[in-house]
Amino acid sequence: MPNLVEIRDLHFSYATRPILSGLRMDFPRGKVVAVMGGSGSGKTTILRLIGGQIEAQSGSIVIDGKRVDAKDTKALYSLRRKMGMLFQHGALFTDLTVYENVAFPLREHTKLSEELIRDLVLMKLQAVGLRNAAHLKPSEISGGMARRVALARAIALDPQLIMYDEPFAGLDPISMGVTANLIRRLNDALGSTSILVSHDVHESFAIADYVYFLSQGKIVAHGTPQQMLESQDPYVKQFVHAEADGPVPFHYPGRTLAQDLLLGDGQ
């Protein structure tokens, strides 16, 4: 099976508000796939559906041949052991040190000796350049460093699938470059598959093998980063070249200014 994750005809809505409709996506093994789109386009929802945190109204998500079923807790937890997820703000456990955060999944899911756990944790922290910050608490490190610790924690069990939720949000250009480089290097070193949810075009295009563009819950374009750069699709053009107006309107939809001011034909 060439794809680690397959999404077919996925529909999801919050109450009556549709978020995703008729989604079809493939995430090939060993690749970094970026899911891009504006805020509120449903990118993070896709990650939450893949992780089984929420359940779709219809359609299917298959990971390594197994269908994600949020109701079957045992099967879901078994699937999640193959996954690592980097949350937007790291989601580090604030009462634990950097070392203990990375050791957490190892202690929960393995019966390794403390010596072996120590070696593994230090290796993971070495990979993200924070071995010497092992003793610090999350409150004592910067946002960029917290993101890297969360990355070390996400790869602690060498997962097959790593999901990144806005890994570049709020980072300075240096931290952004470091994080992007780490995502690519770790993916290749572990032989895993990465799903990168982001709206940062420059960094995502630099490391992704394939890109999906999402707008209003639908895939509007997909292809390699080069194909996306050359795309004539109005939405992709507006997004990639950061144009203020286009298919995504500047103004929130609703009444016109003339109607609100009771002027002219707005009356």
Partner 1 sequence: MILDMVSALGRWTREYVVNVGFATRTFFALLGASPRILRRPRLVTGQIHFIGNYSLTIIAVSGLFVGFVLGLQGYYTLNKYGSEQALGLLVALSLTRELGPVVTALLFAGRAGTSLTAEIGLMKAGEQLAAMEMMAVNPLERVIAPRFWAGVIAMPLLAAIFSAVGIFGGYLVGVKLIGVDEGAFWSQMQAGVDVWKDIANGVIKSVVFGFAVTFIALYQGNEAQPTPEGVSRATTRTVVIASLTVLWLDFLLTALMFN
Residues engaged in binding partner 1 (CB under 8 A): 51, 53, 77-78, 80-81, 83, 85, 87-89, 91-94, 104-105, 108-109, 150, 153
Alpha carbon dihedral 170, 174, 178, 180, in 10-degree steps, equals 60
Nearer to partner 1, 158 or 233 (CB): 158
Q: How far is the CB of 64 from partner 1 (least distance, A)?
A: 15
Q: How far is the CB of 51 from partner 1 (least distance, A)?
A: 5
Phi, psi angles (nearest 5°) of residue 201: -65, -50
Nearer to partner 1, 105 or 247 (CB): 105
Nearer to partner 1, 80 or 237 (CB): 80
b/e map 144-183, b = 16+ CB within 10 Å? bbbbbbbbbbbbbbebbbbbbbbbbeebeeebbebbbebb
Residue type at 158 in one-letter notation: D
Q: How far is the CB of 20 from partner 1 (least distance, A)?
A: 19
Q: How far is the CB of 93 from partner 1 (least distance, A)?
A: 6
Nearer to partner 1, 167 or 225 (CB): 167
CA atoms within 13 A on the CB side of 28: 9
Q: How far is the CB of 33 from partner 1 (least distance, A)?
A: 18
219 close to 184: Cβ distance less than 8 angstroms: no
Rounded distance between C-alpha atoms, residue 122 and residue 176, angstroms: 23
Nearer to partner 1, 11 or 80 (CB): 80
Identify the bridge partners of residue 28 per DSSP, sorted by sequence position: 3
